[in-house]
Amino acid sequence: MISASERKPPCLTFRICASCKGTCERSVSPGIAVHTVLMKGPQMATLNDVTSADRVHIGFFGVRNAGKSSLINAVTGQDLAVVSNVAGTTTDPVRKAMELLPAGPVLIVDTPGIDDIGELGEMRVRKAKRVLDSTDVAVLAVDATRGMMLADRELVALFEEKQIPYVIALAKCDLETNADGSEVAATLDLTSGRVVRTSSETGEGIHELKETIAQLAKSPVAEHRIVGDLLEVGDVVVLVVPIDESAPKGRLILPQQNTIRDILDAGAFALVTKETELEQALSRLAAPPRMVITDSQAFGIVAQIVPESVPLTSFSILMARHRGTLDAQVDGADELDRMKERHDVDPDAQPPHILIAEACTHHRQCNDIGTVKLPRMVGNYTGMTPTFDFVSGNEFPEDLGGYDLILHCGGCMVNDREMAWRARHAASQGVALTNYGVAIAKMKGILDRSLAPLHS
Ligand SMILES: Nc1nc2c(ncn2[C@@H]2O[C@H](COP(=O)(O)OP(=O)(O)OP(=O)(O)O)[C@@H](O)[C@H]2O)c(=O)[nH]1
Ligand SMILES: [Mg+2]
């Protein structure tokens, strides 16, 4: 994070601003103190791209020079990663979203060597290990000429502890003196995981490695529906999608797209409207809709238009339920009430410290939800003048000490493993975490109403 002394003057295009490199402050409403803004994760897709959350995250791990980057190039058939015989060539996790057959849409992640040393090396190792928190399938590259090392065994232990399916790619098999690889194989005294002999030089084993990755990528976990399980064939669902300056040009954002798809899968009808035409849309229906789903930002106005008898919820609440995090986030939002109570009891109470975390790195517009609207709303709701820190992309602080609350975006750009890790990480440090949509519903006084459709 940047310190107060490093702050730059406000800049409306800070995401792409060449001079500030995305670290300058934005103006926010008076009375709200904002002391850090950090934009990170240039490799991340944006809200407008294919969802990263739905891609299988494949991480390549191993010691320095094991042949990780070469394997990535061989597996993808592209020159994606820099390769050299200098140990420690890859210094930061590198992510690339792509279609990898037969696995399908994937996010390939190259990592720095897990045995790196020195002050910088240790930072790189921490980053490589952090990748494990979002890895769905791990590939451990083991240099066939050196065999399995202590660091490799530690990695295997971590895969098993975190229940990450993995395959061991015995790399550089073309250099092996022992043609059948028996000596090296003898060092792989593993009870689980698969071993594939590979050579990025000759292409040996690369096809088999891809097949193995695809097999491991098949998740045994049952898929949770977004809304389809609450609907019956022929139901009409009204979706409210504000088209304001923060809407992506010419398309809908992912939670909206995915919800429409789920409604269609349920054999129901999706009627999509802006909040400005909602009243008219409802009046055109012969009967009240089965449900109205709105963008959280339009909650206030939509709740006034939709009769109490019609179930109303939001995209973010449905997405949190879809990912199994809703209950924890509803509990997390109670922290806003505790802040309000503290202020009611003692108007001079210490103002809270809040982290606003956004997993994507979309270009921020005026009146941005995360950096402008939410801070303003929290200030108004609690009566306090909180201090806000902001992180985005892959960045999520290791040390959350000192925060009273984390307000997280819906997280459609990170996968379930990463979201679950963030929630566990916050809980382990005793910090409440909730998402934008749940927090907004709470602050607008309609959280109970928005949760009711999920229990009917
Ligand atoms: N002969 C042969 N050389 C290989 C093979 N795979 C990698 N190498 C060589 O091994 C060296 C290290 O390869 P990299 O792919 O950069 O290894 P890495 O694990 O990504 O290394 P770091 O990024 O430094 O951690 C390079 O000189 C590669 O050309 C292989 O299958 N056969
Ligand atoms: Mg490398």
CATH number of residue 281's parent domain: 3.40.50.11420
**How far is ligand 2, taken at its centre, from the CA of residue 286, in Å?**
62
The answer to whether the beta carbons of residues 382 and 343 sit under 8 Å apart is yes
Q: Give the residue with greater pLDDT, 257 vs 32.
A: 257
Degrees to nearest 5, angle at CA 148 with 146 and 149: 90
pLDDT, average across residues 76-98: 88
pLDDT, average across residues 81-93: 88
Tens-place pLDDT, residues 368-406 = 777 788 999 999 999 999 999 998 887 889 899 889 999
Q: Is residue 399 domain-resident? A: yes
Q: Is residue 76 domain-resident? A: yes
**How far is ligand 1, taken at its centre, from the CA of residue 86, in Å?**
9
Q: Name the percent of the chain lying above pLDDT 90.
A: 51
Ligand 1 atom 6 nearest Cα:
67
Domain of residue 411, residue span? 221-456
Choose one of 217, 252, 279: the last residue of a domain: 217
Residue 40: pLDDT above 50? Answer: no
Q: HSE-up of 238 (CA within 13 Å, CB side)?
A: 28
**How far is ligand 2, taken at its centre, from the CA of residue 112, in Å?**
6
Confidence of residue 178 (pLDDT cuts 50, 70, 90): low
The answer to whether the beta carbons of residues 315 and 294 sit under 8 Å apart is yes
User: Do both 335 and 278 map to the same domain?
Assistant: yes
Which residues, 6 or more positions from 421, have their beta carbon under 8 angstroms from its beta carbon?
133, 134
Two tokens at 223? 């898929």
Confidence of residue 177 (pLDDT cuts 50, 70, 90): low
**How far is ligand 1, taken at its centre, from the CA of residue 213, in Å?**
20
Confidence of residue 451 (pLDDT cuts 50, 70, 90): very high
Beta bridge partners of 294: 240, 314
Closest CA to 296 of 135, 437, 454: 437
Q: What is the pLDDT of residue 105?
A: 85
Ligand 1 binding pocket mutation candidate from 68, 69, 70 (most atoms within 8 A of CB): 70
Closest CA to 293 of 277, 271, 276: 271
pTM for the model stands at 0.72
Degrees to nearest 5, angle at CA 360 with 292 and 258: 35
Q: What is the pLDDT of residue 182?
A: 53
Confidence of residue 188 (pLDDT cuts 50, 70, 90): low
- Pairwise CA distance, residues 336 & 381, whole Å: 8
Buried b (16+ CB within 10 A) or exposed e, 101-117: eebeebbbbbbbbbbbe
- Pairwise CA distance, residues 273 & 3, whole Å: 43
User: Do both 232 and 209 map to the same domain?
Assistant: no
Least confident span in 48-57, 295-304, 336-345, 355-364: 48-57
The answer to whether the beta carbons of residues 197 and 183 sit under 8 Å apart is no
Choose one of 162, 195, 217: the last residue of a domain: 217
Confidence of residue 98 (pLDDT cuts 50, 70, 90): confident
- Pairwise CA distance, residues 178 & 112, whole Å: 28
User: Do both 202 and 265 map to the same domain?
Assistant: no
- Pairwise CA distance, residues 107 & 343, whole Å: 45
Q: Which of 43-47, 235-239, 326-330, 350-354 has the highest mean pLDDT?
A: 235-239
- Ranges of beta strands (E only) in 274-394 are 291-294, 312-314, 353-358, 387-392
User: Do both 228 and 336 map to the same domain?
Assistant: yes
Q: What is the pLDDT of residue 364?
A: 53
Residue 183: pLDDT above 80? Answer: no
Q: Is residue 384 domain-resident? A: yes
Question: Is there an atom of ligand 1 within 6 Å of 111 CB?
Answer: no
Q: What is the pLDDT of residue 395?
A: 83
Q: What is the pLDDT of residue 36?
A: 31
Cβ neighbourhood burial of 26 (10 Å; 0-12, 13-18, 19+): middle
Question: Is there an atom of ligand 1 within 6 Å of 69 CB?
Answer: yes
Two tokens at 28? 């926010």
* Ligand nearest to C-alpha 112: 1
Q: Is residue 111 domain-resident? A: yes
User: Do both 408 and 270 map to the same domain?
Assistant: yes
User: Do both 227 and 180 map to the same domain?
Assistant: no
Residue 285: pLDDT above 60? Answer: yes
Q: What are phi and psi of 222, to 5 degrees?
A: -65, 140
* Pairing outcome for strands 33-37 and 353-358: unpaired
- Pairwise CA distance, residues 71 & 58, whole Å: 12
User: Do both 273 and 372 map to the same domain?
Assistant: yes
User: Do both 141 and 157 map to the same domain?
Assistant: yes
Q: What is the pLDDT of residue 176?
A: 65
pLDDT, average across residues 1-6: 39
User: Do both 190 and 242 map to the same domain?
Assistant: no
Least confident span in 280-289, 413-422, 447-456: 413-422
- Pairwise CA distance, residues 347 & 343, whole Å: 5
Residue 307: pLDDT above 80? Answer: yes
Residue 13: pLDDT above 50? Answer: no
Domain harbouring 154, CATH code = 3.40.50.300
Length in residues, the chain: 456
Question: Is there an atom of ligand 1 within 6 Å of 314 CB?
Answer: no
Degrees to nearest 5, angle at CA 392 with 296 and 399: 110
Confidence of residue 15 (pLDDT cuts 50, 70, 90): very low
User: Do both 65 and 114 map to the same domain?
Assistant: yes
Residue 310: pLDDT above 60? Answer: yes
Q: Is residue 2 domain-resident? A: no
Choose one of 188, 217, 246: the last residue of a domain: 217
- Pairwise CA distance, residues 214 & 100, whole Å: 9
- Pairwise CA distance, residues 169 & 204, whole Å: 11
Two tokens at 23? 């670290």
Q: Is residue 395 domain-resident? A: yes
Q: Is residue 261 domain-resident? A: yes
Least confident span in 68-72, 139-143, 418-422: 418-422
Cβ neighbourhood burial of 3 (10 Å; 0-12, 13-18, 19+): exposed
Q: Give the residue with greater pLDDT, 256 vs 4.
A: 256
Question: Is there an atom of ligand 1 within 6 Å of 90 CB?
Answer: yes
- Pairwise CA distance, residues 94 & 100, whole Å: 16
Q: Structural domain tally of the chain?
A: 2
Q: Is residue 32 domain-resident? A: no
Two tokens at 32? 């709200």
User: Do both 151 and 250 map to the same domain?
Assistant: no
User: Do both 358 and 274 map to the same domain?
Assistant: yes
Q: What is the pLDDT of residue 37?
A: 32
Find tokens 């309000």 and name the residue: 340
* Pairing outcome for strands 104-110 and 94-100: antiparallel
Which helix (H) or strand (E) segment holds residue 196: the answer is strand 194-197
DSSP-assigned states of every residue in 208-258: HHHHHHHHHHS--SPPPPSSGGG--TT-EEEEE----TTSPTTS--HHHHH
